[in-house]
Amino acid sequence: MSNTGSFAPSQAPQNASVLIVNDAGEYLLHLRDHLPGIWEPGSWSLLGGGREPGDESLEETARRELLEEAGLDLQVLEPFQVEHARGVDGSAIAIQVYAACWNGDPESLHLTEGVMLRWFAPEIMPRLRLSPSTLDLVRRHAAQHARRHNSVAAHAADAAHAADAAHTPSPGRPGALTAAGEKTVLNVIGVHLYLENKLGAVLLGLRHPDCSYAGKKWHFLAGHCEQESAIAGVVREAGEEGGLLIRPEDVELVHVVHLSDGPGTRPRVQMVFRVRSWQGRPVVREPDRCLAWEWWDPNALPDNLVPYVRAAIEGIRAGRLYTEMGWA
């Protein structure tokens, strides 16, 4: 198979593969046999294969392939995303990719296909004989994995910081008193992508029901700023969440929503950026967060739209740069 970029087969996935990562951030790769007529002969790849008649789901396909090829029985497989590829005969193939954690020794596994299994760090993989699509897949998963780890660490740090501040407040800490007796509160910075197609429709994503924020609601392609500029953040989120390539020089700020969710919560500065030129088409790359991307007529937006997103769209269409919400 080979990566096809913007190509998307019309049929539902009939193949499954698994990204297996350990606690050190290394990924388990399978060295395939160097035989004619097979996909990617002599290359490193993910474990997986095609759906068989007895498989009730693609997760069952993935589990069967892991067991048959390597004797692996993993407790949890999480859907990661659907990859688009072409087979050796040129046919269109959609592959459901799952993600799993495992910390075992590949040497202890009984491999029935291929040459060997080995752990590799993502930074080593460009030196391997590895398809560009697989390398890109690993890099995207590694970035998301790191973001989640950093988010957990940040929440823990915030909790510790808040507890410490309650006992020994000092200027500059969230909730601390300045010399003038006023509170200093750090605001969360959010970055949002505003896209319009040629018909003037706006791109929105349907949030997964299990999302901690805005489950089952339509939202911009969005995320939080990390250790980066706001424009760098929206460029990164566009690629990670929607498979879109945008250039920093094409990004312009079109609206800001200063949002308060109520007393005791951290205010949020929601920055909305417009991009008029981009590469690729929207694809779901984080299915645990977003179920679908759709273009919506701004005059007929969905009822279950995140309120500040509706306010931002209305502000953009009215030519306003700034909106406040939730402030008494």
SS3 per-residue string spanning 255-293 = EEEEECCCCCCCCEEEEEEEECCCECCCCCCCCCCEEEE
pLDDT of 177 over the 80 cut? no
Q: For all residues of the chain together, what is the average pLDDT?
A: 83
Q: What pLDDT shows up at residue 227?
A: 79
Q: What pLDDT shows up at residue 48?
A: 92
Q: How does pLDDT run across 59-106, given as a tens digit for each residue?
A: 999 999 999 999 999 888 988 888 876 655 666 688 999 999 998 899
Which residue would you say has higher pLDDT here, 178 or 257? 257
Q: What pLDDT shows up at residue 154?
A: 46
As a whole number of angstroms, the distance between CA 38 and CA 11 comes to 22
As a whole number of angstroms, the distance between CA 131 and CA 110 comes to 25
pLDDT of 174 over the 80 cut? no
Token pair for residue 136?
Answer: 């890109």
Q: Is 20 exposed, middle or buried (0-12, 13-18, 19+ CB in 10 A)?
A: buried
Q: Are 292 and 284 in contact (CB under 8 A)?
A: yes
- What's the mean pLDDT in 302-309? 96
Q: What pLDDT shows up at residue 165?
A: 43
Locate the domains of the chain by residue range.
2-142, 184-325
Q: Which residues contact 148 (CB under 8 A, 6 or more apart)?
A: none
pLDDT band at 217 (very low <50, low <70, confident <90, very high): very high
Look up residue 68 and give its amino acid.
Answer: E
- pLDDT above 70 as % of the chain: 81
CA separation, residue 44 to residues 117, 132, 134, 144 (Å): 9, 11, 9, 22
Q: Are 278 and 261 in contact (CB under 8 A)?
A: no
Q: How does pLDDT run across 110-156, given as a tens digit for each residue?
A: 889 888 999 999 998 998 988 888 898 999 998 886 665 554 444 44
- What's the mean pLDDT in 294-299? 96
Return the axis-axis angle of helices 230-242 and 132-167, rounded to nearest 10°: 130
Per-position DSSP letters for 220-239, written without gaps between them: -EEEE--SS-HHHHHHHHHH
Q: Are 223 and 289 in contact (CB under 8 A)?
A: no
Which residue would you say has higher pLDDT here, 176 or 183? 183
pLDDT band at 160 (very low <50, low <70, confident <90, very high): very low
Q: Which residue has the tokens 């505003």?
A: 194
pLDDT band at 4 (very low <50, low <70, confident <90, very high): very low
pLDDT of 271 over the 90 cut? yes
Q: Are 284 and 81 in contact (CB under 8 A)?
A: yes
Q: What is the pTM of this model?
A: 0.49
Q: What pLDDT shows up at residue 306?
A: 95
Helix (H) or strand (E) holding 298: none
Q: Select 2-142's CATH number: 3.40.50.2300, 3.40.50.300, 3.90.79.10, 3.40.50.720.
A: 3.90.79.10
Q: Are 313 and 301 in contact (CB under 8 A)?
A: yes
Q: What is the CATH superfamily name and number for domain 184-325?
A: Nucleoside Triphosphate Pyrophosphohydrolase (3.90.79.10)
